[in-house]
Amino acid sequence: MRILLIHAEKFSYEAKQKALAKAEELTEENRRYFGENVLVAFTTVEEGDYDNASSIVKRAAEEIMEVARNVKASEIVIYPYAHLSRNLATAGEAISILQKLHLRLKGEGIKVHKAPFGWYKAFKISCYGHPLSELSREIKAEKPEEEVEVEHEYAILTPEGKIYAPEEYDFKDENFRILVEKEAFKKKLPGGTSLIPSYCSKFSIEWEPYSDHGHMRYGPEGALIVDLLSEYSWNITLSLDIPVFYVKGTNMFSLNVDAVREHAELFGSRLYSLRVGGNKLILRFAACHQQFAMLKDWIISYKNLPFGVFEVADSYRLEKPGELTLCFRLRKFYMPDLHIIARDLEEAKKLTFKVQSKILEEIRKIGREYYAIYNITKSFLHKHWDYVLELVRREGKPVLLVFYPEGKYYWVINVEYNIIDHLKRPREIGTFQIDIGNAKRFGIKYVDERGMEKYPVIIHTAIIGSLERYLYALLDTAALMEKKGEKPRLPTWLSPIQVRVIPVSKEFLDHSVNVAKKIEEAKVRVDVDDRDETLSRKIRDAEKSWIPYIVVIGKKEVESGKLTVRIRGRKDVISIEPEKLARMIKNEIEKYPWKPLPMPMLLSKRPIYRKE
């Protein structure tokens, strides 16, 4: 930021015409101005200032106030002036920073006026001419900004309606104690080697070394898993039994749009940004921007409500390098984001019971339990005590309350659902929140029974969390199996290869392929290990790949017409006809999405993945 400070005996201006399409709105207060004994701060906001806005605004306000006190000015005028630098911020960034500077100076107790940004203005100035009447300043951030952690208060709320201070609570559940110690007491997470990376490698899921760290790549098996999870998340959304619209959109949004910028500012330094020409863009951190940008253009009647809008959104968050965790904390991920549009807060509260029930149902399907954090304001808890308590009763266990400052965020309640992983660390997976601010910010309206326009309330939810985090929960469940001495596995519907057929020797290959094709006709993913390896090696490799059903075919199987089948997790070996095996697997996976094998059926036709 560059500032030219003129101590003026008299100063006046009048806005004449727009200089930019992105100009601030004129009002009776800012259209024209006249003042005496004023310090005029001709201000240019430069590229990069927005990324360090708090520091820039703080230092600029200090510099201006120091000069104002020294020259004993009766008023300060912030005058947008693009002529002190050739390295300009975007219009949206400049407006945001100038508004913040205006508010900060007003907070100092001196009279402050701000001229409108983006207008050609005629002005007259009469400079005093004393040694301090003409000064310039260049304002730079002292160091890159880091997110300032908001101070919170914590409490524990039980299903019986009792509230405890965390330090006074008698923990009966070890997993809940771990959550509270990490969140409220800031206890350091335990160390240990996670099993998740080694599990991911089985399914060709890994970091992409040619990208920014925190971005993953998926080989055929991993890509199939992600596609299946994407379809599964959509099916879950439909099961909520409300109308839902499936949409798609872009991942880039302009900070010149006020609604985008204001919403994005809540995420601070976790934003990815890029500049194209004179426009600064951010990469979306969820589907919010795209869905809200669509919804503002929809003509919505009260008769349409409630309804949902859904997208599996590629999302980007600039997480800190030391916090990145494969499948869990990423810089690019897929978020199955659902926004439910409700008439008002009361309708939204009722709908969240349905959302909560589905979130809990899904994690219990894989044999896990959630431990919840309720981010909330004290006023909301007080006014809606019965609602919050009913949520906790439906949880069936205590929750951690985290109290946020009033009015800081667009939501009034934000619930985070955590598993406790195999290394005894809380890991957030599912979530929902009630949003009372973004409908107005983005201009989303509906027409009520009386023909009046109203702003709806919006529920944000990712019922199973991001696709990667849900996969993390599945793999972590496998890790717990292994720790108990069981064979780790994925659910059969999500296993890239559901059946592997292994011929004892080459003479049984043709028969094995025919058997595989019969099983495939039942929409079961099956491959054939035709490699020139020993039988024991082939079985061992299939076990290492967590293949749920391993079929061995030799002379006995050909003559009997039955298959010898090893089922993962069982010690016995069964003998069964191909049709019955296909039917048995089909019954196991019929309620889940299915996609065909994403690679050749014969293992000999596949390249070998190189592991560095």
pLDDT of residue 612: 43
- All structural domains of the chain with their residue ranges: 2-138, 153-476, 492-605
CB-CB contact of 294 with 309 (8 Å): yes
Residues in CB range of 129: below 8 A, 6 or more apart:
none
pLDDT digits (tens, 9 = 90+) for 56-89: 999 999 999 999 999 999 999 999 999 999 888 8
Q: Which of 81-96 are b and which e, b meaning 16 or more Cβ less than 10 Å from the residue's Cβ?
A: bbebeeebbbbbbbbb
CA distance 578 to 133: 93
pTM (2 d.p.): 0.86
pLDDT grade for 476, boundaries at 50, 70 and 90? very high
Mean pLDDT of 270-290: 87
Strand-pair partners of 459:
340, 434
Closest CA to 35 of 107, 123, 146: 123
Cα separations in angstroms, 568 against 3, 490, 500, 523, 528: 71, 10, 12, 20, 17
pLDDT of residue 149: 58
Q: What percent of the chain has pLDDT over 70?
A: 97
Residues in CB range of 76: below 8 A, 6 or more apart:
38, 39, 41, 64, 68, 105, 110, 111, 112, 113
pLDDT grade for 50, boundaries at 50, 70 and 90? confident
DSSP 46: B
pLDDT of residue 347: 98
What are the tokens at 411? 């939501």
Edge-to-edge strand order for the sheet containing 526-528?
A: 526-528, 499-503, 549-553, 563-567, 573-576
CATH architecture of 153-476: 2-Layer Sandwich (3.30)
Whether the pLDDT of residue 126 is over 90: the answer is yes
pLDDT digits (tens, 9 = 90+) for 88-105: 888 888 999 999 999 999
Whether the pLDDT of residue 268 is over 90: the answer is no
CB-CB contact of 441 with 262 (8 Å): yes
pLDDT of residue 586: 95
CB-CB contact of 292 with 442 (8 Å): yes
Phi and psi dihedrals of 193, rounded to 5?
A: -95, 120
Whether the pLDDT of residue 564 is over 60: the answer is yes
- Tell me how crowded residue 293 is: count the other CB atoms within 10 A of its CB: 18
Strand-pair partners of 80:
43
Query: Kind of pairing, strands 75-80 and 453-454?
Result: unpaired
Q: What percent of the chain has pLDDT over 90?
A: 85
Strand-pair partners of 43:
3, 80
- 148 CB burial (10 A radius; 0-12, 13-18, 19+): exposed
Q: Which of 346-364 are b and which e, b meaning 16 or more Cβ less than 10 Å from the residue's Cβ?
A: ebbbebbebbbebbbebbe
Edge-to-edge strand order for the sheet containing 300-301?
A: 300-301, 446-447, 453-454
Mean pLDDT of 120-134: 95
CA distance 351 to 282: 31
**Same-fold call for 2-138 versus 153-476:** no
544 or 261, higher pLDDT? 544
pLDDT of residue 355: 98
DSSP 568: T
pLDDT digits (tens, 9 = 90+) for 409-445: 899 999 999 999 999 999 999 999 999 999 999 999 9
pLDDT of residue 150: 62
Q: How many helices (H) and strands (E) does the chain have?
A: 16, 29
Whether the pLDDT of residue 147 is over 80: the answer is no
CATH class of 492-605: alpha beta
pLDDT digits (tens, 9 = 90+) for 244-258: 999 999 999 998 888
CB-CB contact of 417 with 431 (8 Å): yes
pLDDT digits (tens, 9 = 90+) for 158-196: 999 999 999 999 999 999 999 999 999 999 888 789 999
CA distance 435 to 237: 19
Angle between helix 258-265 and 288-295 (nearest 10): 150
Helix (H) or strand (E) holding 273: strand 273-276
Fold of 2-138: D-tyrosyl-trna(Tyr) Deacylase; Chain: A; (3.50.80)
Instruction: Return the minimum-mean-pLDDT range out of 43-47, 51-55, 101-105, 505-509.
Output: 51-55
CB-CB contact of 336 with 463 (8 Å): yes
CA distance 117 to 115: 7
What does pLDDT average to over the chain?
Answer: 94
